[in-house]
Amino acid sequence: MLATELLFIYIYCLADDAITVGVLSIPGRPGPAPACTDAELLTIALVRSLLGRRSENSFLEEIRGDWAGLFPHLPDQPEVNCRTRWLWGAFEQFRAACAASVPADPVQQIGTSAIPVRHPPRVRGVRAVDQLGQRPERPLRPGRRDSRQPADDVANYLGPWSTILENGGYSPEAAKAAARQVLPDILRYDRTQPATYPNGRIPTDDVYSARFAWLSNGKIPPADLKPHDDLQAQFPYLGPPNP
């Protein structure tokens, strides 16, 4: 991964070139040209998005403290916010142009790192994010589970889950090892390995049988459920709807 300073420089060069050749459509504004250019603000907005910085004000303070030399004319936060909203259409065009330049990937994934999978439920709010990397373990989660980060799952839940698994017939050491199979709560996918649960999921996987066998140390047999026989090999994979 690029150092943040190099990331700023790289994104700025892309944004400035895109504006120069007319790839980005930016509406004109009255008055003199601002000292901080549109390319600079697009760079800040995109890097902030890539780094996952939620607070615009905090990110601007971070820039002023660590990378002031890259943005010597950075305005105050209200002006940055106003101009960034003005540039929103160009920002989306820029992201689309960057995405279009990435070579096609048949499985739509770059690299082999584990992919965190989250599901936004109907209830709004930061705490209303439901982790479903290992969906059948939902009943084992304490109430605050969905408001925490997967990176903290081992520290928060290894002990309680190990105890539950011991009650299912595991020895203490085997229970810890089994708990680590699903902690942190993300769905892992290694594209160098066959795509079948627990390495990702495919429509024919009987995930619930696999997880109940895991929970009971093999005591709960498979439910012998059969997948639909009209699945397709290509997206959207599901067969035609039943009448």
Q: Which two structure tokens, joined as six digits, stand for 45?
A: 């907005």
Last residue of a domain, one of 69, 100, 131: 100
**E strand or H helix that includes residue 170:** none
Last residue of a domain, one of 32, 67, 100: 100
How many domains would you assign to the chain?
2
Last residue of a domain, one of 70, 100, 130: 100
Whether 241 maps to a domain, the answer reads: no
Q: Provide the pLDDT for residue 168.
A: 81
Same domain, 93 and 65: yes
- CA distances (Å), 154 to each of 71, 161, 173, 183, in order? 40, 10, 15, 6
Same domain, 89 and 41: yes
Same domain, 209 and 125: yes
Same domain, 78 and 156: no
Give pTM, 2 decimals: 0.45
Same domain, 144 and 187: yes
Tens digit of each residue's pLDDT, the chain (243 residues) = 468 888 899 889 988 988 888 888 888 878 888 899 999 999 999 898 888 888 899 999 999 999 999 999 999 999 999 988 888 888 888 877 777 776 655 544 444 444 444 444 444 444 434 444 554 454 455 445 455 677 788 888 888 889 888 888 899 999 999 988 888 877 788 888 888 888 888 888 888 888 888 888 888 888 777 877 888 877 777 777 766
Same domain, 96 and 125: no
Domain that holds residue 73: 4-100
Whether 222 maps to a domain, the answer reads: no
Q: Provide the pLDDT for residue 97.
A: 79
Q: Provide the pLDDT for residue 105.
A: 53
Whether 192 maps to a domain, the answer reads: yes
Same domain, 123 and 211: yes
Phi-psi region of 218 (alpha: psi -120 to 50; beta: other; left: phi over 0): left
Q: Provide the pLDDT for residue 119.
A: 45
Q: Provide the pLDDT for residue 137.
A: 52
| Whether 226 contacts 232, CB under 8 Å | no
Other beta carbons within 10 angstroms of residue 100's beta carbon come to 7
Q: Which of 108, 50, 59 minimizes the C-alpha distance to 81?
A: 59
Same domain, 178 and 91: no
Residues ≥6 apart with Cβ < 8 Å to 112? 189, 190, 191, 192
Same domain, 15 and 92: yes
Same domain, 71 and 139: no
Q: Provide the pLDDT for residue 94.
A: 82
Q: Provide the pLDDT for residue 79.
A: 92
C-alpha of 19 from chain center = 29
Whether 109 maps to a domain, the answer reads: no
Q: Provide the pLDDT for residue 21.
A: 87
Q: Provide the pLDDT for residue 104.
A: 59
Whether 107 maps to a domain, the answer reads: no
